[in-house]
Structure 1
Amino acid sequence: MDREGELLYRTVQWDESRLQLAGKRPAGPLFDIKCPEDAVSKLHLPHCEIKPAPLCLSVVHISDDGMSFLEPLEITDTHVVVDVPHLSAFGLVWDIKRFFSPNPKPIRGQVLLFHRPAYMRQSPKLNVFLLPYNVPVPEVKGQQENAEYIEAPSSCDLIVGQIYSLHCSEAYKVLPKGARFEFNHEKNYHKTFEIRLTPNTDEVTVTVQDQERKDVWEYPVELLGSGSTSISASSSPPPATQPSASQPTWFPVTAEEGGLDPRRENLQRSLSGDKERRLLSVRTEFIDRVSSSVLKDLLDALLQHRVINNREMESIQIMPSRTDKARELIDTVLKKGNQACEILMDTFCEVDPFVSTMLKLQ
């Protein structure tokens, strides 16, 4: 900085289609940076290359005037240094050719652990994330509701596109059996593996192996307070306001709304809203006809609008079949009231106009 000032920054979503047209891929988060005093002269952007070559990284500058690429002043072992013309959005990018090498180079990765204690009839879980090293840990932590972040030596070398497996002898189930490591710098970070544990498990050893069965990371994890816990997932929403298209709607979520068995008494209640009754009337056809890809889009939209929370989304995603996921999704939304049903119906009409027309939801 040239002088004293307040710097504000946040990460924002990449528009990867624009980058692909320029032959580039994201190599780190896209930072939206502001400094009211106009005091910033250089930025040091964190990278995850192990041995950065002089021309392997560049910096994209995105503003209202368009997108441009800046040559670094310096590339250190940990950061890329660039002059700042004026503040807006900056991020690191790779040349796409890097990913077509016959001998792919590893990058610095990180393994993040989150413990979810036993909740009602669900077993305790350990969620494991394989991520690039320059993904901000606080952003991942902020998306893990009711989960304890476990501090551990997280650094390891990972190869983009390679298949990794996770092993834990103390677990009774590990899902999935293998997962491809992708260079994820999205706004939503999804767990790579889920370890399901028996109650009162207090220590486990977690090992990550590459596709040649070589260990790339291992850590003995202590699970404090691993017994059955009654977690309240209720949140205190801000004062009620009229929702707008640019402002997500708040929905209070309680432990009762966890979606564990919504088909018993909750759907038998007297539905007060017309949207609820309309959605319930097509419940069976929705379960039979909605596709897996549309279910994924619906889950993302419902999470964005805070109709469901991360825990509910994950419990639906790990269900074994498409029909189970569809049934759990519609029953969970039906319990949340007329406005939640309206959001589901409107989103369904957008992402699948053909089936929604057949169900007369248009």
Structure 2
Amino acid sequence: MSGLGNETSPNTLSHCCQTKVFLPHFEPRKFTVFSDKVIKASTEKTCDSDVKQSPITAETKMDMSEDTKLDKSPQSFTPELKTESTKVSYRFRCPGPGMFQCSFTGLVFVVDQEAELLYSTVQWDESLLQSAGKMAAGPLFNIHCPEDAVCELHLPHCEAEDALPSEGLLSVVHVTDDGMSFLKPLEITHTHVIVKVSHLSAFGLVWLGEMLQRLFNNKKPICAQVLLFLRPPDRGIQILDVFLLPSNLPLSEVSEQQKADHITLPSACKLIVDQRYSVLSASEEFEIQPEFAEFYLNYGPNFPPTFMVFLTPNTETLTVMVKDEDGTEVWKCKVLLPSPKRGTGQSSLPADDSLQAEERLLLARAEFIQRVSDTVLNQLLDKLLERGVFSDEEMKSARTKSTADKARDVIDSVRRKGSEASSFLIAALCQLDPCVSRELSLR
């Protein structure tokens, strides 16, 4: 899809903090022709024609989609991740007809046959949205399915349940090389916007323009998330980065840009766009910068921290609070920090290639149990099952355990299976979590 995946320059990143992200335009040659006409035509049609027009087996797909809605819930899947620089792409093969939900992005795909899904987030063209009187309400997903089997998409929104948008306030934009059109949702649930699709490219959620949104929503809060990342010590100084982000932004998109450890905590809160917030700690000895920051709807491509907490040496726990400009507490959590890294931030484990793979795992065992995330563990289990290292029973048993017990089960079971299995686990961890594998001297 031309013009959607351009990288942002380093200069753009340096100006990103506390400002809205500057996004590149699509190819000027195409949109000088299409932008005014395509937008005008698509909005005047109220998107009904976009929903109705389905050149292939529209009736069959409708029937299948309706049947699928009778299922209790979508089947959750953990996609295969591929990271190039800080860009993440997702891949999953649906085993057959059904409704499938991505555990990373929250996207739900309704498919009518076995099919491979390939998708990633791409940059919005903010100027094009503004010219249409719209603003981004979620990531823009570039989706491909070679089998053309997807008949319905459910895109996660960040509206609070008591403030679901009124008719026409929230819609789905479909972006192609020829321009963009707006699709009227089939339904808006408390978590997703459902739209019927006939062919794939880029899809994302949009609101009416910012000023109209303020009038309609009367500054009602949206669902948001507070993410914490702990940087490795640098010259004895350790920094806890605090991110205020909309809830429908995938964690995987943020974590790939951070050379830091994500601290898993309850992250849900409600925030108001363009309102000022502050971060405080129960201990006054921590310096926090800035004093106040506005909450923006940042959907990438860059994610600078909203706040930085400068920790004192040997800090093990702290309580972090987020308050609005009136001093009302909107989020609070006690934070247990991982053990600090030694010296330069690297693990002291020996990076000796002469060691057998199972010996290397044994040396890394304690930190592996402490540091590997539940998301990565589930992906490792999928890969171990696919490779035949784990049986179905072993995988199911491990999934029922807590994160620490799951990590302990994975690394101990693999070590007992010998050098080949241990080498495979090391390679898989290096692919799925380069940061942790590097810190454990496994790469």
1:34 is aligned to 2:144: yes
Give the residue type in structure 2 aligned to 1:116: R
CA contact (8 A) 2:236 2:313 kept: no
- State the Cα distance separating 1:230 from its structure 2 match: 1.8
CA distance in 2, matches of 1:213, 1:122: 33
- State the Cα distance separating 1:64 from its structure 2 match: 1.6
Identity percentage of aligned residues = 53
Give the residue type in structure 1 aligned to 2:144: K
1:153 is aligned to 2:266: yes
Give the residue type in structure 2 aligned to 1:114: F
Give the residue type in structure 1 aligned to 2:164: P
- State the Cα distance separating 1:90 from its structure 2 match: 0.3
Cα 1:169–1:227 change in 2 (3 A) is farther
Q: Tell me which residue corresponds to 1:53.
A: 165
CA deviations 1:332-356 (Å, max 9, x no partner) are xxxxxxxxxxxxxxxxxxxxxxxxx
CA deviations 1:125-155 (Å, max 9, x no partner) are 110000000000011110111x111000000
Q: Tell me which residue corresponds to 2:230.
A: 115
Instruction: Point out the structure with the larger helix share.
Output: 2
CA contact (8 A) 1:165 1:179 kept: yes
Give the residue type in structure 1 aligned to 2:113: R
Structure 2 counterpart SS, 1:182: coil
Unpaired stretches in structure 1, ≥5 consecutive residues: 234-362
Query: After the TM superposition, which residues 1-362 of structure 1 pair with which residues of structure 2 at under 5 Å, given as runs?
Result: 1-50=111-160, 51-55=163-167, 56-96=169-209, 97-100=212-215, 103-119=218-234, 121-145=235-259, 147-170=260-283, 171-226=285-340, 229-232=343-346
CA contact (8 A) 1:14 1:30 kept: yes
- State the Cα distance separating 1:76 from its structure 2 match: 0.3
Structure 1 counterpart SS, 2:128: helix
CA distance in 2, matches of 1:92, 1:227: 41
Give the residue type in structure 2 aligned to 1:26: A
User: Between Structure 1 and Structure 2, how many residues are aligned?
Assistant: 231
Q: Tell me which residue corresponds to 1:251.
A: none
TM-score, normalised with respect to structure 2: 0.51
- State the Cα distance separating 1:172 from its structure 2 match: 2.5
CA deviations 1:224-251 (Å, max 9, x no partner) are 2136542259xxxxxxxxxxxxxxxxxx
Report which stretch shifted further, 53-62 or 13-22.
53-62
CA distance in 2, matches of 1:192, 1:61: 30
CA distance in 2, matches of 1:93, 1:161: 17
For the aligned residues, what is the CA RMSD? 1.6
Q: Tell me which residue corresponds to 1:327.
A: none
CA contact (8 A) 1:117 1:225 kept: no
Cα 1:214–1:228 change in 2 (3 A) is farther
CA distance in 2, matches of 1:163, 1:101: 20
Q: Tell me which residue corresponds to 1:280.
A: none
- State the Cα distance separating 1:54 from its structure 2 match: 3.9
Give the residue type in structure 1 aligned to 2:181: S
Unpaired stretches in structure 2, ≥5 consecutive residues: 1-110, 348-443
Report which stretch shifted further, 223-232 or 158-167.
223-232
